[in-house]
Amino acid sequence: MAAYLCGCLPTLSTLFKPTAHNVKEMRCRIHALRQQLPAVADVHLRATADALLSSLQAQLDLPHPSGAGPSGAGMGGVRAAADGLIRVFLERDTQLPCLADYLDAVHELVNFEALRWWGHDFNVMVRRECLNAAHQLRTALARLQQAWPEFSGRINAILAALREYQMLFDVEGLGSDSFSVYWPVLSAWDAIAGPARAPGFPACLQACYQLQESPREIAALAQAWLEQELPLAQNVARKIAALPFAAGAGSLQAVWCRVNTHYAVDCHAWMARVTRACDDYGARYLAIRDTGAVFGDDTWRCPPAPRQTSMFAMINALARGASRSQRLAISPRLAASPLLGLQTALAVPMSEGMAFCLEFEYWDAARQLLAVAAPDPVQAAYLSLYGAIPETQAEGVLCAQLETYIRRLIRYVRALCDVRVHNGEMTYTDFIAWAAGTTGLSMETLHNECFGLMASPGRAASHAVGAAAYALLRQQNQARGVSAQAFHSAASRQRVYPWPIGKALLAQGTTFQSGAG
């Protein structure tokens, strides 16, 4: 699917099925390609190819029952089947002629996965991840059936196979949508099993993400940032608690909930206006947008059903989406090789570093605009998202500051969760309880933010490492007079190099003058 989304395949009509024969053939292809690396003259391209082969090898060595992959997209299995439906067939109409073939491939793959994992023993985390993957596929199939009922026969066949797959992981209460129901199940199983190092950890930090830091170093970095910024978030929360709509809110979680309620908007009704205002402001003042390009598939979207969401959560999500879509839209156009246009886990540290900075810069831009006497139309449209008049705009900017700080705190908590749980230092449920007591955010909030990344060991750690290094490079170049536009544009032009190369190129500063990757 990654190859299709990056334009390397004309259609999406099949899925990789990891039979013994197919896996052996893939290993042989990886070995053969690695033998050809010395013939690649460009040193950066050769290192990128080597890193990508290492990542693919690691994914073959550590198959996951849910199909989760290191980039967040499904690497295979049920997750990949669901991703194909959601990101291609339900969001594009150009692939409809291939839909019947794709559904047949999904049916075959789900049957294979149910047989593949039969008789295995799974911990409670894996069970919950697989139940979530099954739910994701089931939801996508329901949307598909509603849109194209002519495929009902094939969809019903997949649903029958999916029930067999789900039975492998079912535990009473674990598949519930209610936190109060499934959390005690998670906690009970965790208490019995105790802490355990995840298979392939910490080697996956290097193999999948090219991180050079150890788990201890990553934990120290994330802990230091958490301790530095938690008091800032708490101070902002105290100021908001003095406002009428937040009166009586005592904890960080309670204040945040009041903000989310006070600034709730209908996502679908506001999406076009918010996207246009953020996009126009970002393109003019923060980062370039490739002429004629469209945002990539990682851009944030409203859920399919009507939903109330906080205005500031939307702005933050669009800032994060802009960082990923910048890389997907700009990188392939400037790439010297199709290899550099692939959407892989190699891009995660750089794109997450850019997201970290853009989230803060979008908020800081609104803060600075409060003092602009005569904003231009682009500035005025962006500031109007925070309020209609100066008084409500100032209040909105304060509340948006809390949203931004909380998103940063969650990033650090995720990284700590990644390394401490996967390194066998704590159980997952014990960590969530510790993080809730430390931050003042609820266990349910922290679970919702952390759990989805736990199927990809090292991914949350790469978010924090990328953020820390990218922010430092941004600060250093800003001191040298490099604008936000120039810096973020240069980062986009790094293509999907391994993180050490992309980071080194940004540190050298040559891309700011040449405009080349």
Highest averaged pLDDT of the listed ranges 55-64, 135-144, 329-338? 135-144
What confidence score (pLDDT) does residue 430 get?
Answer: 98
Nearest to 311 by CA among 354, 356, 278: 278
Q: Which of 204, 73, 199, 62 is nearest to 133 (CA)?
A: 73
Interval 269-280 mean pLDDT: 93
27 found inside a domain:
no
Output the CA–CA distances (angstroms, integers) from residue 30 to 9, 180, 199, 457, 497, in the order listed: 19, 46, 22, 22, 19
Q: Say how many Å lie between the first and final Cα of the chain, rounded.
A: 26
Give the C-alpha separation, 370 to 358, whole Å: 19
Whole-angstrom Cα distance, residue 425 to residue 194? 9
Residues 387 and 242 in one domain: yes
Residue 311: band (very low, low, confident or very high) from pLDDT cuts 50, 70, 90: very high
Band (48; pLDDT cuts 50, 70, 90): very high
Q: Quick one: pLDDT at residue 301?
A: 59
The residue from 169, 193, 217 where one domain ends is 193
Check the CA dihedral 379-380-384-390 and report its sign.
positive
Residues 450 and 334 in one domain: yes
Residues pairing with 423 in the sheet: 197
410 with 496, same domain: the answer is yes
Q: Is the pLDDT of residue 463 over 60?
A: yes
With respect to residue 517, please indicate whether it lies within any of the assigned structural domains: no
Average pLDDT over residues 234-251: 96
Are the CB atoms for 64 and 74 separated by under 8 Å? no
pLDDT at 6: 67
Which residue type is seen at 444?
E
Tokens representing residue 169 in the block: 């992981």
pLDDT of 217: 97
Looking at the predicted structure, is the pLDDT value of residue 490 above 60? yes
Q: Do 215 and 299 belong together in one domain?
A: yes
How many domains are contained in the chain? 2
Residue 478 lies in a domain: yes
> Same domain for 367 and 286?
yes
Among the candidates 151, 174, 193, a domain finishes at 193
Asked whether residue 38 is domain-assigned, the answer is no
Same domain? 298 vs 329: yes
- Residue 338, pLDDT > 80, answer no
> Over 50: is that where the pLDDT of 343 sits?
yes
Q: Which residue has the tokens 């199939």?
A: 141
Q: Are 353 and 471 in contact (CB under 8 A)?
A: yes
Same domain (yes/no): 226, 332: yes
Calculate what percentage of the chain has a pLDDT beyond 90. 69
CA–CA gap between residue 294 and residue 330 (Å, rounded):
10
Q: Give me the pLDDT at residue 306, please.
A: 56
3-state secondary structure 244-288: HHHCCCCCHHHHHHHHHHHCEEEHHHHHHHHHHHHHHHHHHHHCC
* pLDDT beyond 90 at 510: no
| pLDDT tens for each residue of 80-124 | 899 888 877 776 656 677 889 999 999 999 999 999 999 999 999
Residue 417 CB coordination number (10 Å): 26
Pick the closest to residue 347 from 209, 469, 218 (CA basis): 209
Phi first, then psi, for residue 7 (nearest 5°) are: 85, 10
pLDDT band (50, 70, 90) for residue 178: very high
Residues 184 and 306 in one domain: no
Final residue before a domain boundary, out of 193, 223, 252: 193
Average pLDDT over the chain reads 89
Pick the more confident residue, 51 or 484.
Answer: 51
**Full DSSP string of 163-188:** HHHHHTT--TTTT-S-HHHHHHHHHH
Between CA 129 and CA 124 the distance in angstroms is 9
Output 126 or 62, whichever has higher pLDDT. 126
Residue 361 lies in a domain: yes
Residues 290-308, mean pLDDT to the nearest whole number: 51
Q: What is the pLDDT of residue 95?
A: 66
95's tokens = 């692939």
Q: Is the residue at 135 inside a domain?
A: yes
Structure tokens at 157: 């066949």
Do 336 and 355 share a structural domain? yes
Residue identified by tokens 């820390």 is 468
| pLDDT of 342 | 74
Range of the structural domain that residue 348 is part of: 204-508
Asked if the structure places residue 513 within a domain, the reply is no
Give yes or no: residues 141 and 212 share one domain. no
Which is more confident, 48 or 303? 48
Range from 71-75, 300-304, 398-402, 491-495 carrying the lowest mean pLDDT? 71-75
Q: Which residue has the higher pLDDT, 70 or 409?
A: 409
> 219 lies in a domain?
yes
Same domain, 152 and 226: no
Split at pLDDT 50, 70, 90, the class of 335 is: low
Please tell me the pTM assigned to this model. Answer: 0.92
The residue ranking higher by pLDDT, 509 or 355, is: 355
Query: Are 143 and 260 found together in one domain?
Result: no
Question: What is the model's pLDDT at position 516?
Answer: 37
